[in-house]
Amino acid sequence: MKNIVILISGGGSNMAAIARAAREEDWGRRHGAAVAAVISNRQDAPGLGIARSLGIATAVVSHKSFESRERFDDALADAIDAYSPTLVVLAGFMRILTPPFVSRYQGRLLNIHPSLLPAFPGLDTHRRAIEAGCRIAGATVHEVTADLDHGPILAQAAVPVMADDTPERLAERVLAVEHRLYPKSVADWLMRGSSRQA
């Protein structure tokens, strides 16, 4: 079985979209894959309760318990590796990862970013897109590399920016397309993985 481990920090709506797609589209039969665990760096992440209600194992590795980024990333990698993952999926995981962590999972570490990369890497993307006068915004699924929000792009989805948009309204519109884009991108990745192995 190809284990998928999903990392979250907050609401976990992308994680839930992936977990539901895995169930509804029977990824076990189609891809030999399953969401094995959801891991959060925050004990109070609402997504943890959603994961449990979907019958998925959860774990917390709090960044506050470690004196350095390196130590936190080591503990996080131990928690991830307990599930022997084929794929690690960042879904609203709000920590900058160290280069050793990224290289440990290179090629099997995905992220979703709420902008049309390479535009607007980093935080506060929706406000920045509105202020720049963008007519189109969107989301990008990419492979994670040591360069924040700059890895190879796997998929994108666009939405219009309305004249009277607020960052909150635009975020809602983008999040709705993320919920289709991310599960599809993960399924495509699994499919390519299986054809590579075939």
Task: Give the interface with ligand GRF as residue ranges (CB under 6 A).
Answer: 8, 10-14, 47, 91-92, 112-114, 139, 175, 178
What is the closest distance, in whole angstroms, from the C-beta atom of residue 81 to ligand GRF in the complex? Answer: 23
**Is 142 assigned a catalytic role?**
no
Minimum separation from the CB atom of position 194 to ligand GRF (A): 26
Q: How distant, in Å, are the alpha carbons of 78, 124, 147, 160, 195 from that of 179?
A: 28, 19, 25, 17, 25
- CA atoms 68, 85, 175, 128: torsion sign: positive
CB of 1 to ligand GRF, least distance (A): 24
Output the residue with the shortest Cβ distance to ligand GRF: 92
- Among the listed residues 113, 126, 142, 179, the single catalytic one is 113
Q: In which element (H, E) is residue 126 found?
A: helix 125-131
Choice between 87 and 91, CB closer to ligand GRF: 91
**Any idea which residues carry the catalytic annotation?**
113
